Chains A and B, each alone.
Chain A
């Protein structure tokens, strides 16, 4: 079976993206995002991060169907 390729740059991108979402969640919980503008911006950052993570994951080489056990 060909393993999926999780190269170091991709690994870092995934880690960074997840850390961003986690940090924004913490900001929400701590009440730091206290205006609708800040909240809207935060959601946009989460959306952008998720989109970029999805693109990275789609581009990531995954095992072919016939190679799966």
Chain B
């Protein structure tokens, strides 16, 4: 499976070296050191190039000229500006000229891969999938513990190696499988089976399909999940809860890559990548005779473990930022959580992991500006620090909300124009810029309002 291509246009050798080593595991990096080479590579390979990384300061061209040119010729091409210039005017100008994003070179090593992934993996229309997780946007924290697992999983998948994900509930097993599917772009579907959710009596038909008339309710021929996953990915979730009676047939189907529909004698060849997942210790399932030993040995290795949210609390703010953005979009709001609340959430113990955090952020955004809901949600939560304020929002939080509300209202009114907004608020432009940065307001969102 070939890696998606990215074109980087930059005259600085060191920047190219950094990007090359940063992206080597996930993308194929094409490089151009000037306008002419960049445009000619784009012309030749634009159907393969998924994104352009563009420097603004190159000797043979004016600051935004190349950006204008690329945007005019390739209107749907995602363009990320990668520059060490990051004053607000340049950022605003770049976005107006059609850039999708702006990453400063000093933050490249920490955020570039994540931003690229967001554009390539979430903005690209996915192939049809049978999973209900299609609408789930992907987020991979910029942390080695997560990045490594995603990289290894992708390497296994690219080499056609089946694997098992054994992790606590809510740690992102389905998200990882979706990521693999979107990165691999196989010809077939991503088919997921919740092995614990299928009644024993229907399991064989669900897994392998049936011929019309093979049993009382079988009025039509039905294709099973294994057959549906042909040329794609078969995701067996909660493998430890698979009905015992079906396990031998499942093992045979996995080993031989052949299935037989219920009521038929004809063997059908299938080819898929198998990813299994569980949140329990499968050895115990084997000991308690719920899982066949031979099936465990076939599917138990290699095994990947996604970290729980409590292991790396430093990634919590990243997830919060992502979910806030996701639900702001969904509920058409522009909520910015105060730092004290982010801190509270970071200090909380997350039994339900990412799924739990996502649910809480969803409720907070949906109910905003009713701050009482936040205290209600966190009341009784296990925290490492005593941050409870007796049901009353902290004064710092109130001031934060007041400032955010005033500034965002004014920005909205003036369509993100900094000078006009500052004037209407009666403060200096520089003060406004400072406040925008301090409060974490994404002023770009107001540009098109």
Contacts and interface: CB of A to CB of B under 8 A. Distances in A.
Check if A and B associate. Answer: yes
Given A16-B105, A27-B21, 15 more contacts: A16-B15, A19-B84, A19-B106, A22-B106, A22-B109, A23-B18, A23-B22, A24-B18, A27-B18, A30-B109, A32-B21, A32-B22, A42-B17, A42-B21, A45-B13
A38 B144 CA distance: 20
A19 B104 contact: yes
B85 interface: yes
Contacts of A22: 106, 109
A67 B329 CA distance: 58
A38 B313 CA distance: 32
Nearest to B13: A45
Contacts of A12: 57, 84-85
Indicate the size class of the contact surface on chain B.
10 to 19
Contact of B105 (A19, A38, A41, A48): A19
State the main secondary structure of chain B at its contact with A.
helix
29 contacts: A12-B84, A12-B85, A15-B84, A15-B105, A15-B106, A16-B15, A16-B84, A18-B106, A19-B104, A20-B12, A20-B18, A20-B105, A22-B106, A22-B109, A23-B18, A23-B22, A23-B108, A24-B14, A24-B17, A27-B18, A27-B109, A30-B109, A30-B144, A32-B22, A33-B21, A38-B21, A42-B21, A45-B14, A49-B14
B110 A26 contact: yes
Contacts of B104: 19
Nearest to A34: B21
Nearest to B87: A8
B255 to A, nearest CB: 35
A20 B22 contact: no
Interface string A1-45: 000000000001001101110111011001011000010011001
Contacts of B109: 22-23, 26-27, 30
Nearest to B110: A26
Interface string B104-134: 1110111000000000000000000000000
A23 B20 CA distance: 12
Interface string B75-95: 000000000110000000000
Contacts of B106: 15, 18-19, 22-23
A23 B105 contact: yes
